[in-house]
């Protein structure tokens, strides 16, 4: 079974994000190939990046970084639910990602994005950031418009918008299982 973390993409109060995160969690609940958990970086009390040594060295000095990194280590895959703010991801998500690095190596991710233009620019920016972590991002993504998939402040996705989600999850499972063997081979190599 593949362990997937659903990562909310913003810490903004009263955001639409929790509704979409909840939808993602509900979609995954019926999939027998995965175990999903919402992992909100906001619950780790991460300040603006305060680690002295770059994350790639994994020499964390602060307890909040150690806890955030340890939680991410538990997962084989990630689904990022990101809004588009000013043609990119939120500053809070970028900050949370900057704290860690190797916890994402040789794992897989999918992106669920939303905004006025379906959040596609945020998704593209996020793909570039995640590639730096040796994190494989599957092609398909679910993209939602705040004009057609939201009614009176309530997330009400159209069938057209939700359709890519199933194939995204199928690819996450397939790639996630394959990448487990890559991580296992790397661990064996380090132990030798």
The sign of the dihedral angle between the CA atoms of 116, 117, 120, 121 is negative
Residues linked to residue 77 through DSSP beta bridges, in sequence order: 4, 108
Binned average pLDDT, 10 residues per bin, the chain of 192 residues:
97 91 97 97 97 97 98 98 97 98 97 97 98 97 98 96 98 97 84 74
In this prediction, residue 30 carries a pLDDT of 94
Give Dmax over CA atoms of the chain in angstroms: 59
- Which candidate, 1, 3, 4, 22, places its Cα nearest to that of 110? 4
In this prediction, residue 22 carries a pLDDT of 97
In this prediction, residue 188 carries a pLDDT of 79
In this prediction, residue 124 carries a pLDDT of 98
The answer to whether the beta carbons of residues 108 and 137 sit under 8 Å apart is yes
In this prediction, residue 133 carries a pLDDT of 96
In this prediction, residue 56 carries a pLDDT of 95
Tell me how far apart the alpha carbons of residues 26 and 24 are, in angstroms, rounded to a whole number. 5
Give the chain's domains with CATH numbers. Answer: 2-191 (3.40.50.360)
In this prediction, residue 14 carries a pLDDT of 81
In this prediction, residue 80 carries a pLDDT of 98
- The pair of three-digit structure tokens given for residue 159, joined into one six-digit string: 């069938």
In this prediction, residue 136 carries a pLDDT of 97
In this prediction, residue 6 carries a pLDDT of 98
């Amino acid at each position: 079974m593949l362990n997937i973390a659903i990562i909310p993409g913003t810490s903004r109060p009263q955001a639409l994000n929790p509704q979409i995160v909840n939808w993602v969690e509900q979609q995954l609940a019926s999939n027998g190939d995965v175990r999903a958990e919402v992992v909100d970086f906001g619950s780790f009390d991460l300040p603006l990046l305060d680690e002295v040594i770059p994350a790639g060295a994994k020499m964390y000095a602060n307890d909040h970084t150690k806890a955030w990194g340890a939680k991410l280590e538990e997962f084989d895959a990630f689904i990022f639910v990101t809004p588009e703010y000013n043609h990119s991801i939120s500053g809070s998500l970028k900050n949370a990602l900057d704290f860690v690095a190797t916890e994402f190596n040789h794992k897989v991710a999918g992106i669920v994005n939303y905004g006025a233009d379906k959040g596609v620019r945020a998704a593209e920016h996020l793909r570039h950031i995640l590639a730096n972590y040796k994190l494989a991002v599957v092609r398909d993504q679910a993209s939602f418009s705040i004009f057609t998939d939201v009614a009176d402040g309530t997330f009400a996705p159209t069938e057209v918008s939700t359709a890519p989600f199933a194939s995204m999850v199928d690819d996450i499972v397939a790639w996630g299982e394959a990448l487990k063997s890559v991580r296992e081979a790397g661990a064996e190599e380090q132990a030798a």
